[in-house]
C-alpha cells in the first residue's frame, strides 16, 4: 500500500488531511515527535537519539519487504512489499 504524506507548507492548508486537526497542528505534531525522540529530556536531540527513532522506522519498512524474514531482500521481495 502506498501512502502519500501531505505537508501544509508544501501543498497549502487545504491539502492537509481532514483527520489532521484531531492530531494537532503541524507544529504540535513536530513538538510531540521531538519530545518522543529526546530520551534524556535535555531539550536537544543527540545523533543517537535521532538515529534511534529513525532506525525503528527503517526496521519496520525493511520488515514490510522481507516476506521470508531472512533479513535479506530478494529482487522479488523488493518489487512487491507486503501490504
DSSP per-residue string spanning 43-57: SS--HHHHHHHHHHH
> Are 80 and 57 found together in one domain?
yes
What dihedral do alpha carbons 33, 39, 42, 47 form, nearest 10°?
Answer: -80
Q: What is the pLDDT of residues 37-68, one digit of tens each?
A: 999 999 999 999 999 988 988 999 999 999 99
Please give the DSSP secondary-structure letter assigned to residue 42. Answer: S
Instruction: Note whether 30 and 51 are same-domain residues.
Output: no
The single residue listed with the C-alpha cell 491539502 is 15
User: Model confidence over 5-46: pLDDT tens digits?
Assistant: 444 444 444 444 555 556 789 999 999 999 999 999 999 999
- For the chain, what is the domain count? 2
pTM over 0.75: no
Q: Is the domain of 47 the same as that of 24? A: no
Cell output for 71: 533479513
Is the same domain home to 51 and 76? Answer: yes
Task: Give the range of the structural domain holding residue 12, as residue numbers without chain letter.
Answer: 1-37
Amino acid at each position: 500500500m502506498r501512502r502519500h504524506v501531505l505537508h501544509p507548507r508544501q501543498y497549502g492548508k487545504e491539502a492537509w488531511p481532514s483527520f489532521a486537526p484531531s492530531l494537532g497542528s503541524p507544529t504540535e505534531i513536530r513538538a510531540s515527535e521531538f519530545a518522543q525522540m529526546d530520551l534524556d529530556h535535555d531539550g536537544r536531540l543527540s545523533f543517537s537519539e535521532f538515529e534511534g527513532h529513525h532506525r525503528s522506522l527503517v526496521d519496520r519498512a525493511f520488515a514490510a519487504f522481507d516476506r521470508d524474514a531472512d533479513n535479506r531482500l530478494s529482487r522479488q521481495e523488493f518489487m512487491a512489499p507486503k501490504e
